[in-house]
Homo-oligomer: A and B are copies of this chain.
Amino acid sequence: MKAISIGLLGLGTVGSGVVKIIENHQDKLMHQIGCPVQVKKVLVQNIHKEREVAVNQSLLTTSAEEIIDDPDIDIIIEVMGGLEGTKELLLKALKQKKHVVTANKDLMAVHGSELLTTASLNSCDLFYEASVAGGIPILRSLVDGLASDRITKMMGIVNGTTNYILTKMSKQGSAYDDVLAEAQRLGYAESDPTADVDGLDAARKMAILSTLGFSMKIDLDDVKVKGIRSVSEDDLQYGKQLGYTMKLIGIAQREGEKVEVSVQPTLLADAHPLAAVNDEYNAVYVYGEAVGETMFYGPGAGSLPTATAIVSDLVGVMKNMRLGVNGKSAISPQYEKKLKQPEEIYSKYFLRIHVKDEVGVFANITSVFAEHGVSFEKILQLPLKEAEEAEIVLVTHRSSLEDFEQILNKLRDLSAINEIKSSYRVEGGGR
């Protein structure tokens, strides 16, 4: 029986994992698909580099064209990263009727719909489970498992680096900079951590998730992003005192026909299932009208989890090939994009301010909130070391983002307020 041939673009840790899994699971794959599968060519930058995984050197090439143009290769697995060049390569592959499996979240967040359309036009599969939360089969669950439900909310801890940092800050009471340095030493954070700590990586994943979950083309630019650089130990400790855990949360929410998608440090009620997701783990919480609350938890990165997701996609492609039904599973967005405006985005907020310790200050503050019809759920007031200053920590009831921003502006103008130290969205724990 003719083997299915794979062209692998990239042989880093993930690519090596893919090679290993395919080799170690030949029997199981054969059992599932009914024919053998082989890696036929591998694109690398340097053929003679020493590698952890033993790959027959005759398979290696430095020419992408040699792989894309090989008529025997049925499926391209892309694990080399990159944006424009990689897009062109994959478009070419799809036009040559090669199926594509990719782990490239940057690419899918930015060019996903163009690639998916091209795949569909060419009756090719384009699968990308590994692009979001490597070890969690979340895309598959959204497409299949919750197919008959209407998803109204997704919340994701979809970046392992920031979750690791926030967990350590919370448990050890350490400062952001110290924990980041430790994370870099241990390999949990890149030497340039920008994409992680500024929330961009999470935003890409939320764009992919919300596009799929809401069947609406959400672009990366539609995702409002705030990172964790300015999160302080004080915020974490006050949060804890009030029953919250700080997480970098991607929120995608739908009400009626309108959606909001954001990534921001968020104080989660301790009882929320996401609040217990610690260290470098990822999780995606999905609320469906019929199913209610569900959550998918697992490793968000790592070469083997990501490689596992890729091979699962690969199995999907190969099953479709054997059945002759490729290119039918991509669902094009069904709804027109309608984004919520700031006056339509509601949530509770945590606010920490330093005020002059004098009579009437609190009345001034509450009257600003009252003007906007926003009341408080929790209040902490504490004297500070500086004799004339006090610290006030508030959690509001639900407010529109517009109201809350106007409140912040008015508070900044109050002479009794020395500084607005921080503010965060609050999720969970009732209205």
Contact status of A147 and B291, CB under 8 A, knowing A32-B331, A323-B325: no
CB atoms of B288 and A308 under 8 A apart:
yes
Q: Cβ of A297: which chain B residues have Cβ within 8 Å of it? A: 273, 293-297
A21-B308 CB under 8 A given contacts A141-B141, A291-B135, A291-B299: no
Would you call A173 an interface residue if the criterion is a C-beta within 8 Å of the partner chain's C-beta atoms?
no
Partner-contacting stretch, out of A47-55, A181-189, A312-320, A382-390:
A312-320
Instruction: Say whether, besides A32-B331, A331-B32, A144 and B149 are in contact (CB < 8 Å).
Output: no
How far is the CB of A217 from the nearest CB of chain B, in Å? 15
Question: Nearest residue in B to A138 (C-beta to C-beta)?
Answer: B145
Query: Assembly of this chain: how many copies?
Result: 2
Contacts A144-B137, A147-B311, A312-B146; A292 near B298 (Cβ below 8 A): yes
> Given A290-B308, A298-B291, does the pair A315, B147 have CB atoms closer than 8 Å?
yes
| A33 nearest in chain B by CB position | B147
Chain B residue with Cβ nearest A315: B147
Q: Is A169 an interface residue (CB 8 A)?
A: no
Q: Which residues of B contact A135 (CB under 8 A)?
A: 291-292, 294
B148 and A137 contacting across the interface, CB-CB below 8 Å: no
**Selected contact of A312 from candidates B32, B145, B278, B308, CB within 8 Å:** B145
A305 contacts partner chain B, Cβ-Cβ < 8 Å:
yes
Instruction: Decide if A116 is an interface residue (CB 8 Å cutoff).
Output: no
Q: How far is the CA of A334 from the CA of B32 in the complex (A)?
A: 10
For A, the interface residue count at a CB cutoff of 8 angstroms equals 55
Which residues on B sit within 8 Å (CB–CB) of A294? Answer: 135-136, 296-299
Instruction: Give the chain B neighbours of A28 by CB distance below 8 A.
Output: 147-148, 150, 334
**Taking CB as reference atom, which chain B residue is nearest A310?**
B148
- CB contacts under 8 Å to B, within A249-307, are 271, 273, 275-278, 281, 283, 288, 290-299, 302, 304-305, 307
- Cβ of A17 under 8 Å from chain B: yes
A242 at the interface (CB under 8 A from B): no
Q: Determine if A2 is an interface residue (Cβ-Cβ < 8 Å).
A: no
CB neighbors of B among A79-137 (8 A):
129, 135-137
